[in-house]
Structure 1
Amino acid sequence: MVSVQTQRLRDAILILSALIPGIAAQLFTISCAPLAIYRGDPLVFDGQISSHVHAIVGGTAFDLHLPNEKARGGKATTCDKVLDRSSYWQPQLYHERKDGKFEIVELQGMAGYYMNRACDYAPGRMNCIGQPIAKAPPKGLRMVVGNPFLRTFNKTNPEQRAISHICLGENAGDTPHLPVKQCDRMRAETFFPSCWDGKNLDSPTHKHHMAFPAIGDYNTGVCPESHPIAIYSIFLEFFYNTGNIENYNRLVWAMGDASGYGLHGDFINGWTDQTALERALETCAGDGGVTNANCSLNVGPNGPGAASRQPPEVRPPPEDVGINGTILNKLPGDNPVTGNPEE
């Protein structure tokens, strides 16, 4: 019997394939159950309680402080690829009620895509036709996309175009802002930059070592000379059950963003077998996917693994962020609500 989460991932792949012709032969997917929801962000707030709540999936080693070795050494993962102990997170979604109080919105899981969408810089290169498959994200790579402080949208900025939301079942298409009406389910999308400087696994901003293509768009094209190495494009979709919200008022991200423009995503590479990851787009893509006999992500007769809820190895801080249905007087971290959709 196909799980609900697996079916969601299949549906998402069909949508993505329709938007980007030929994409089925250029990607492999991950499907991840939730791991934890709390004020943790080992990239921006290393070793500290972060300013706002995050929805976290992936490796069970996730903690306030997460060195690369610790991430790779996690005991398990909530994702359907056993070799993937990476950590993936976005801000948590809340519903601001009409009385000004807040309730958490159920995180259903995450679908992720590792895609061949960019190519290396070369003088005079104008497109990626005929170019080799991009390299795997290097061992230990850490990166962020998006800006939690944004409350307006600049369509000329590729990083802002890489952030989007969609009401599922509404045929409304992606929007950079939060939905303006209640959805059955909402998908929060973050597309990470695909061009690496070839030297640094992180940077003080967690961004400067990475870039979007210089020729093409945020999700495809030729890398800039400053960041000449193309890596797999990582595209994440976090799914929320917005349809069961009673007396709907409006959605707000955990940092107090009611516009949606401040959506952001974080990634720490925790793949335990870098060689298998480097071979994955050649051996686990196409029509067969991970059922291909030589797929490098398969770890035994049952394939690459299965998505499942797992307990984090380190207990989250004892703060009530609304997980158990608590109605909150304010957002955790005391973040005031600012911004409006389409502002």
Structure 2
Amino acid sequence: MRFSLLASSTLTASCALGAGILRFGCSQITIERLDPLVEPGANPSAHLHQVVGGNAFKASIERTDVSKLADCTTCSFSEDLSNYWTANLFFRARNGTFKRVPQMPNRFLDGSVGGVTVYYFPQDLRTRVTTFKPGFRMLVGDATLRTKEGQSPRNCYRCFTGPNFEGDNLAPCADPKLDTPGLPSTPCPGGIRSNIHFPTCWDGENLDTPNHKDHVAWPPGNAYQCPSTHPVKIPQVMLEVVWDTREFNNPDEWPEDGSQPFVLSTGDPTGYSQHGDYVFGWKGDALQRAMDSNDCFAANCPTLETQSFEVANKCAIPRTVDEPVDGWLDSLPGMSM
């Protein structure tokens, strides 16, 4: 069964097979400087993002049921009209110019265009999780971070050691030889994978908070039990991006001092500013049904409606920020560097 390798290499260790685990692809719907969570209404926002999901995405998203604002999605589950977005990765050449790093379709997700692999886990399988409510949104990570101190402990990069995801032998952020909290310091022959985990406990009241973080929390230590301040268990959301850095692995094109040449669209060469934004937009009780189901595993979920990438990739929004994001650039979009 083709998912047996997937289960051993990319699913978190706390989850067993079945029981509502979702893993699916979402193609890019736009790459531009918009951030309706952190900078609502700003056009353009401070730095570049890649965005996937429903076509309700714009500079400001109403605090309402997003599934009623969008009518298509770039995700393979057609009932998921949520939006997910992350920073982009750029290569900085010796002459100081920048080029956006392309992305590879993730394992078993051929047909997706760039974008993000989205995971939903029902956590420890012993307690029913409560899925998000219309209007819910959250943020993990910090775009201003440049040191390991303060970084989310469950964000990491995996350096693939060869083609076909070689080195993908353990769950994300679980291999100290291949996983790093910052960008890898040496060339990665098979590319670089980013993993961003969201908290799994909710206060049960607030759909959002001013910093988009205080209404959610992690269980203390390695426990599954949520703290009393955030007693409601919610699904574990994880975003995964595979950066195709292979064309940039020539040491002669790296900085003369041998330092790694990649930089996030936040202007960050360390990688510690990796972050993820989430605006919930599943239709009705679709996500709750999936989390409750014992028939869902990865992209196979009979209780959910699916669509081909041929259909998903037709979902689009008008571009509102007029600036180049591809080819060789003199500076990062919105940045002085």
TM-score bin (small chain)? 0.7 to 0.9
Structure with more strand by fraction: 1
**Aligned: 1:296 with 2:296:** no
Determine which of 94, 100, 104 is the counterpart of 2:100.
Answer: 104
Distance 2:184 2:237 in 1: 24
Q: Is the 8 A contact 1:68 1:268 kept in 2?
A: no
Q: Is the 8 A contact 1:96 1:252 kept in 2?
A: yes
Larger CA deviation: 246-255 vs 43-52: 246-255
Deviation at 1:144, TM superposition (A): 0.3
Q: Is the 8 A contact 1:284 1:291 kept in 2?
A: no
Deviation at 1:11, TM superposition (A): 6.1
- Count of aligned pairs: 300
Aligned to 2:81: 85
Aligned to 1:228: 231
Deviation at 1:315, TM superposition (A): 2.1
Q: Return closer, same or farther for 1:285/1:112 CA change in 2, 3 Å cut-off.
A: farther
- Write the deviation string for residues 202-242 of structure 1: whole angstroms up to 9, x where unpaired: 1110101111112426xxx1111111111001011012111
Deviation at 1:169, TM superposition (A): 3.6
Distance 1:278 1:116 in 2: 10
Aligned to 1:280: 290
- Write the deviation string for residues 254-285 of structure 1: whole angstroms up to 9, x where unpaired: 01111111100000001122x12111022265
Letter in 1 for 2:178: G
**Aligned: 1:264 with 2:275:** yes
Determine which of 161, 175, 179 is the counterpart of 1:174.
Answer: 179
Aligned to 1:124: none
Determine which of 27, 32, 54 is the counterpart of 2:26.
Answer: 32
Aligned to 1:127: none
Deviation at 1:42, TM superposition (A): 0.4
Q: Which runs of 5+ in 2 are unaligned?
A: 104-113, 168-176, 255-260
What percent identity do the matched residue pairs reach? 31
RMSD: 2.4
Distance 1:270 1:53 in 2: 22
Distance 1:141 1:208 in 2: 13
Deviation at 1:36, TM superposition (A): 1.1
Aligned to 2:111: none
Q: Return closer, same or farther for 1:265/1:17 CA change in 2, 3 Å cut-off.
A: closer
Q: Return closer, same or farther for 1:97/1:10 CA change in 2, 3 Å cut-off.
A: farther
Distance 2:4 2:99 in 1: 30
Determine which of 54, 76, 84 is the counterpart of 2:72.
Answer: 76
Larger CA deviation: 70-79 vs 260-269: 70-79
Q: Is the 8 A contact 1:110 1:237 kept in 2?
A: yes
Aligned to 1:46: 40
Distance 1:259 1:109 in 2: 22
Aligned to 2:143: 148
Q: Return closer, same or farther for 1:37/1:290 CA change in 2, 3 Å cut-off.
A: closer
Q: Is the 8 A contact 1:62 1:312 kept in 2?
A: no
Q: Is the 8 A contact 1:34 1:110 kept in 2?
A: yes
Structure 1 stretches (4+) deviating beyond 6 angstroms? none
Distance 1:335 1:284 in 2: 51
What SS does structure 1 have at the residue aligned with 2:9?
Answer: helix
What SS does structure 2 have at the residue aligned with 1:137?
Answer: coil
Deviation at 1:26, TM superposition (A): 4.9
Q: Which runs of 5+ in 1 are unaligned?
A: 1-6, 119-129, 299-303, 337-343
Q: Is the 8 A contact 1:110 1:238 kept in 2?
A: yes
Letter in 2 for 1:60: N
TM-score after normalising by structure 1: 0.80
What SS does structure 2 have at the residue aligned with 1:278?
Answer: helix
Q: Is the 8 A contact 2:14 2:123 kept in 1?
A: no
Distance 2:336 2:225 in 1: 39
Q: How does 1:54-69 map to 2 (within 5 A)?
A: 54-69=49-64
